[in-house]
Structure 1
Amino acid sequence: MMLHVPVMLQEVLEALRPWEEQVCVVDGTLGAAGHARAILANCPRCRLVGIDQDPSALDEARLNLAPYGDRVTLIPGNFRDLSTLLPRYEIKVCSAFLFDLGVSSMQIDREERGFSFHGEGPLDMRMDSGTLSRGVTAADIVNSWELGDLIGLFRRYGEDPFAVPIARAIVMHRERYGPLMTTESLVALIRRTLPAPAQRKAGTHPARRIFQALRIAVNDEMEALRETLESLPSFCGDPSTVVFITYHSLEDRLVKQHMKTWAAEGKGLLVTKKPLVPREEEIRENKRSRSAKLRVFRFGPVPTREERRAARRKEGRSGGLPSA
C-alpha cells in the first residue's frame, strides 16, 4: 500500500461532530481513503460512500477500507455526477459530504501520469487515466491550441503573470521543432523563457502555475466543481454537513460564493466565516498541505445567537472548529 497523508484530518473530523449522528458520509474525492478510514473509525453508525474517477485510487482504497466490510460502498465516477451516481445506489439523503480537491500523492508521484513538474512523464494529466472518458490530454492542449487560447488558459486558470511569453514560446517551439510531449520538455521550455530574476523571486517552481492551468483544463475541474455545488443541496438533510478542502484561489472563491448564497437563502449555517488552514506542524510534516483551505457549511435550521454562543463555548472546551 502507498503512504497517504490526509490533509487537515483533525479539522475534517471536528467538522463532522457529533460523530454518532453521522449515518451516511460521501467522500467525493476518495483517493487512497485516508480521510474515509478515519471517518469510519470515529463514526460508529456511518456508512461511507467513496467516489473516485481514478481506477488505481479505487483499488488502493478498497485495500485500505477492507476491514470495514459492508459499511463501505465504492463508486467509480466523477463527483460532478452526484445526481446520477447516488440514486443508482439508492442514496437519497446524506448526513455529510467531503471533497478534498487536491491531486493525490499517488497521482503526483507516478511520473507516468504527467501531473508532476519534477521528473519526466507524458503530458497527460487525466484524473481518470482515460478510463471513464477519452478526454483531451495536456499534450493535446499544448500542441494544438491557438496562441490566444493558451494565453487565456494560463491567465485564467494559472493566474500566471508570464502567460504571454510562455504561450508564445510554446507555439514557437512546436512550429520550429515539433510537439512538446513530456513534462520535462515543457518545464525546460518554461525555464528557458522566464527571466532568471523572476524565477528566483517566485518562491515556487516556475512551471507550477502552467501545470495547474493545464490540469484544470484537461479535467474540466472548475465546471465540475460548479455542477457539484449546484447539486449538493438536493442530497442534504436536516442537518447535513458539507466540507471542502481547496488548494487554489479559483476553487476556494467558487466554494465560498456558493456557501454564502446557501446561507443568504436560509438553507443553513456557514460554519467557517474564514477558511481554516493547516497548522504549522502539519505543513512541516506534509508540504503539500501548505496551500489548503477548509470551509464548512451545515444545512438545516439556523441556530439562534444564544445557541451559537453555547456551541462556541462547548467547542472552545473541546478544541473544535470555530462557529460562524
Structure 2
Amino acid sequence: MAELYTGNIEIVEVSPRDGLQNEQVQIATADKIRLIERAIEAGARRIEVTSFVNPRAVPQMADAEEVCAALPQRDDVTYIGLVMNQRGADRALDTGRIDQLGAVCVATDRFAMANQGQTSEGSVEAALAIIETARAAAKSAQATIAASFGCPFEGEVAEDRVVAMASALAAARPAEIALADTIGVANPAHVASLIAKVKEAIGAIPVRAHFHNTRGTGLANVWSAIGAGAVTIDASIGGLGGCPFAPGAAGNVATEDVVYMLERAGIATGLDLPALIATNHWLGELMGKDLPAMVAKSGGFPVPKTQEEEFA
C-alpha cells in the first residue's frame, strides 16, 4: 500500500493525555511539560496536551489548566485539548492556550454511558455543540468516534452505525473525523473497509485514525488505515495509553514504532526517530518501568560500520 500513497503522514502525539491518563503513578506538571517539549524537539507539531474532564474521574488530568499555562509559546505547534461536554470546552477555551478542541462521541450506548454519562446519540449531539463552540471562539475542532471497531460492553459495532455518526458530525464541518479502536480489537481488513466507507460519506473532511495495540495488531492497522486514505495517525511515545472506562484497554501504537515503519517505507512523518527513542528512555525512567514500544528496545535500522570501527 505504501507505493499507492504519495503524501506525508501527520502524527498527532497523544502521550501527554491518552498516554498518561490511565497511569496510576501521578506525573508532575513539570514533567508533563518536559514531555511536551521533548515531543516538539522531536518534530511533533500537533500534540494532545491534556483533557478537561472531571478530576475525580481522571485524576491524572487534574492539572489541565496548569499544564496549559506552562505550554511553550510556539506558533508552529497546534495544542489540542480533549473535551467531553460544554463545561470542558469552556474550560479549555478559558485557558487561552488550546488551539483545537477534540470532541469525543461513542459508537455504543453502554460505553457512552460509562465514558460520558450519556447515550451514543447524546454524545454525537454534545460533539456537534463542541464544534460550534470552537467555531464561535475562532478555534478549530475535530471529533473522534470511540469504539468504532468494537465495544468492551456490547461487542461488535455495525459499520453502518459508525458511518451514520461520521455523516452527522460532517454536517458541522469539523477539521477532521477520527475513528478510534479504543480497546484494540480492530484488524486490517475491518480498518480498510470502515475507513473507505467513512471517507465516501464525509467527502473532503480528512480522516484520522487512533489505534491501541492491545492485541498486537496496531501497526498493521496503521498501515491499512493509510492505504485506505487516512492522512493523520494518533500515536503515543513509548506506547503508553489506555482508557479508564474501557476494561482491558492497553497502550496506543507507539510513536517511535509508527515512525520507524513509515519512514522505512518511504512515507515521511517529519519526526526524528533518535529523539523519540531518547524520550522513550527518559519517560521510562520517570515512570520506573520499561515502556511497550519495540523500536526503543532494538534501535533503528543498523548503520554499517567501517572496518576500522568494527575492529577497534
Q: Give TM-score scaled by structure 1 length.
A: 0.35
Higher helix share: 1
Structure exhibiting the larger radius of gyration computed from Cα positions: 1
Q: Give TM-score scaled by structure 2 length.
A: 0.36
